[in-house]
Chains A and B, each alone.
Chain A
Amino acid sequence: MTNALPLSPHDPGIIPAASFAALLGRHDLAPTWDVPQGSIESPEATTILAMRWADGVVMAGDRRATAGNVIAHRRVKKVYPADDRSAVAISGTAGMAIELTKLFQTELEHYEKIEDTRLSLDGKANFLARLVRGNLPLAFQGLVVVPLFCGYDEQEAAGKLYSFDVVGGRYDEQDYASTGSGGSEARAFLKSAWSAGLTEPAAIRVAVEALVAASEEDAATGGPDPKRGIYPNIVTVTAQGYREVPDEEIAPIAIDVMEGRP
């Protein structure tokens, strides 16, 4: 704390929805990375995807992080709860993406506690876009963070998806979205496999199939590994809230999908 008093009433900004990110900045705690010219190789999180189904959205990610041609981590988590009604998945420079996710989560909870209401889904997506945009200078040095965001819109009573680009552009996606190194492969699969009104088990299966398809073409995407007990992260968000699909539920689907591959 840089203030003389622990809770200074003169701290500027008892304004509606004073941003937690701005507050961190005042305490010199905002996550920043100053990178000198040149390049470094840090672990990259790869394929993530999200799609709509009848009652909400499902979001999934493989577990591999790579640094160059080395597998840096086998059990990276790329899909996180943003709050109780939305989820965020990350691709790109893993360390930065995980920190931005933590900041994003805290911001949403901070807002909810202070205002006694959740941000709208659009509001959450716009804030995430701002975080990505703030990262643009580093993107020029190869440290790119590109998330996917999805959630249940309580006003519209529907699941919604958002994708982003490096400069912080925010795009509303209709049916499905994917990004990361195996993203185009996953998208190609989803194009043929996705249909409107999927049930939850069907959507989970399609997500696993798309990740397996991506892992077969992209070396940076890890497929399911039953021997080590590594399975994709999959979550669903509906009107009932955020649900992490447990490994026990994913394992039989993943094994079945891999056996059925041509």
Chain B
Amino acid sequence: MTMPFYVPPEQLIKDRAEFARKGIQRGRPIAVVEYDGGILLIGENPNRSLHKTGEIYDRVAFAGVGRYNEFEMLRVAGIRYADVKGYAYARGDVTGKGLANAYSQTLGQIFTHEVKPYEVEVVVAELGDDDNHLFHVRYDGTLRDKQDFAILGGDEERLTEEIASSHRPDMSLEDAVALTTRAIQDATENEIATGDWEAGVLDRSLGRRKFRRLSIDEISPST
């Protein structure tokens, strides 16, 4: 009979976290920031049809970085969760908090129980009548409620500094786009072509479904 080698849990967690973090840092970052009319989700994505941001439900949107197949699975699972809940109860009962908790539990479970943790981080953005919610979920299930903006992937610390220095929640969409595109280019030390951005907004002025994608004309970053 063979016995598995004993690995102390501290070491196991550390190894797994390091593995996941490496995978996520390699990816291109996404910034999710509040502006006066809603929430902007923006990042570099040269793939025109494989999105990193998307609509989950009426007022709830999703952004993910890391391995595409893994966060895409989470996005689809999130839409299913929201649609089933909204159908079984009422549309207003679908909240960002509920979804973020579900993501958190799922990622936490996968982190400890699966062969390999997911190399992803996601943000669940919820547009409220008065105050918005940004939930940041990490690869190990850590869940945080962010104020004003959230950064996913890349050099998170540096990008946070760049954005924190000039972000105001009452800025216009144009200003928010200009700020985030400049900050992401500075933080990644990389010039990004206009067509290589992906951006979506939860726009308070829209009807029931608040999510829409921004056109290239609306993005045109300040260089």
| Contact flags A88-103 to B (C-beta < 8 A → 1, else 0) | 0000000000000011
- CA distance in complex: A132, B105 (Å): 38
- Verify B84–A9 contact, CB threshold 8 A: no
A106 at the interface (CB under 8 A from B): yes
With contacts A7-B81, A116-B51 known, is A102 near B87, CB below 8 A? Answer: yes
- CA distance in complex: A102, B87 (Å): 8
Closest to B101 in A: A6
B142 at the interface (CB under 8 A from A): no
A6, A14, A113: the one within 8 Å of B73 (CB): A14
Query: Which bracket fits the contact residues of A?
Result: 20 to 34
**A1-25, CB < 8 A from B:** 1, 5-9, 11, 14, 20, 23-24
**B65-87, CB < 8 A from A:** 73-74, 76-81, 83-84, 86-87
Q: How many A-B residue pairs have CB under 8 A?
A: 62
A218 at the interface (CB under 8 A from B): no
- CA distance in complex: A20, B56 (Å): 14
Min CB distance B71 to A, Å, is 11
With contacts A110-B79, A114-B76, A114-B79 known, is A9 near B55, CB below 8 A? Answer: no
- Verify A6–B83 contact, CB threshold 8 A: no
- Verify A24–B81 contact, CB threshold 8 A: no
A9: chain B residues at CB < 8 Å are 73-74, 77, 106, 110
- Verify B87–A106 contact, CB threshold 8 A: yes
B56, B101, B103, B106: the one within 8 Å of A113 (CB): B56
Q: Which 4 A-B pairs have the closest CB atoms?
A: A6-B102, A7-B77, A7-B106, A110-B83
Contacts from B to A (Cβ < 8 Å): 49, 51, 54-56, 73-74, 76-81, 83-84, 86-88, 101-103, 105-106, 109-110, 209
Give me 24 A-to-B residue pairs in the complex whose CB atoms sit less than 8 angstroms apart, sorted by A's number: A1-B81, A5-B105, A6-B81, A6-B101, A6-B105, A6-B106, A7-B74, A7-B77, A7-B78, A7-B81, A7-B102, A7-B106, A8-B77, A11-B80, A20-B83, A20-B87, A27-B88, A29-B84, A29-B88, A103-B87, A106-B83, A110-B79, A113-B54, A113-B56
